[in-house]
Amino acid sequence: MTPRRVCFPLLGSYYVAEKVVGSLVGDEVILPPPITKRTLEIGAKHSPEAVCVPFKYMLGNFIEAVELGANVLVQMGGGCRLGCYGEVHRAILRRLGYDCEYIQVINDHGILSLIRFIKARYPQLSYLHICTVLYLAYEKARAIDIIEDYLRKNVGFVTRTDALERLHQRFLADLDRAATTKEVHQVKQDYEADFYRLDVQKPDKPLRVGFVGEFYVVMEPFSNFFIEKQLARYGVELHRPLTIAGTVQHYTFYNRHIRHLLRQASPYLTHAIGAHGTESVAQAVHFVQQGFDGLIHVKPFGCMPEINAMPALHRVSEDYHFPILYFSFDSLTSETGIKTRLEAFYDMLMMRKVHHV
């Protein structure tokens, strides 16, 4: 019998947690190569022209992984058109002659729907085993969220960023090797101590910027031209509330989460607007209330939930004189243009801060 070689689309550092989930459905997990321009070129070449850019990146990931021997392709989605991508990806890959099993998990109800999906598809797996493996993946994702949240807030103020980058890579490697939740907690604890020992020279009142928008473009750094690293070079403390572990929690308790977001987004929203659009508005209001200096909102070109969020974000910006920088990405977006606009945004925030002081 041919071994089942599973792959997932890449999503930042979360491949460490994805590999754990992949072990449930395959004999081996094959990671796609790190995303490059080739990934996007391959995906865009075989995609419908008007489809959003995450579709193209994911398709490019799948094709590159199949070239490495993957034969089971797994995609998780829901909340917007992402829930329909699976059938289109499957049709494109079949047309290209790739004989692969394609598994799409519509994850509209968080971890509970994922458990039920895996049990229905693989009845030989016990609920205990499924829950144990998924909890390990969740804890790895949560460890990544905690460490990388610290990095986003402090990397711009570390005297030796190269040392921090190497420490981050060692953290991911050790976390990848952790086989139990106890080992995961130990890795997280050890590296938290290591990161806190770094020489951080942060001013009393640094520029604080929020980072919100569509799930994929926020979390996959290549797709947004590494906005987080660009802002770190300017000495900005970046806050990104959207995380994998948080998303799992929110979708597991979806109705309660939406009620909370709508209370936070009031009076700018009265109904949920799909995917993470509601969250973008609620977090913008939160950042205003916390005295942040500005906000960056990112989305793929044509992303309806985030397009729906933009009129509310404009009102928040006008009412509070709160700077918001909007980016819309597609397969032809210029990296130079992104960097130029980021630099201008930073200069404007600095002038406002100096003026207010």
pLDDT of 248 reads 84
CA distance 15 to 298: 22
pLDDT at 32 over 80: yes
Across the chain, what does the average pLDDT equal?
A: 92
**Prediction pTM value:** 0.94
Average pLDDT over every residue of 114-139:
91
DSSP secondary structure string for all residues of 83-152: GGHHHHHHHHHHHTT---EEEEEE-TTHHHHHHHHHHHH-TTS-HHHHHHHHHHHHHHHHHHHHHHHHHH
Report pLDDT for 108: 58
Decide: residue 262, CB within 10 A, 0-12 exposed, 13-18 middle, 19+ buried. middle
Helices 85-95 and 53-67, interaxial angle, to 10°?
A: 40
**Amino acid 305: pLDDT:** 92
Q: Would you state the structure tokens that stand for residue 197, as one six-digit string?
A: 């020992």
Distance of CA 258 to the CA centre of its chain: 19
Question: Which H or E element spans position 206?
Answer: none
Burial class (CB in 10 A: 0-12, 13-18, 19+), 178: buried
pLDDT over 90 percentage in the chain: 73
**H or E element in which residue 3 lies:** none
pLDDT digits (tens, 9 = 90+) for 245-265: 888 888 778 788 899 999 999
Name the 3-class secondary structure at 18: helix
Alpha helical stretches, state H, the chain: 15-25, 37-45, 53-67, 85-95, 110-121, 127-154, 161-177, 181-196, 215-219, 227-233, 244-252, 254-265, 277-289, 304-320, 335-356
Calculate mean pLDDT across residues 37-56.
Answer: 94
